[in-house]
Amino acid sequence: GYLYVTIIYNISVSLSLYALFLFYFSTSELLRPYSPMLKFFMIKSVIFLSFWQGMSLNLLTTAAT
């Protein structure tokens, strides 16, 4: 069951990053005075890196047993 949950979670993270990307491009003209590019990259990196951190920790605990 873990493999299927991981695949679904990977798809979920990918869709959230894609939605954030679309949101940025749809509102870039309105938000231009606030220069939100760094903020969007930080949110994307938190989502992306937390996913891979969980995956790597799970791999390490599985390999240790």
The predicted model gives 5-18 an average pLDDT of 86
Task: Report the predicted TM-score, pTM, of the whole model to 2 decimal places.
Answer: 0.63
Given pLDDT bands bounded at 50, 70 and 90, which one contains residue 9? confident
CA distance 60 to 65: 9
Share of the chain above pLDDT 90, in %: 5
CA distance 5 to 3: 6
Could you report the per-residue pLDDT of 28-50, keeping only the tens digit for each?
Answer: 889 888 888 888 788 878 888 88
Structure tokens at 29: 């003209």
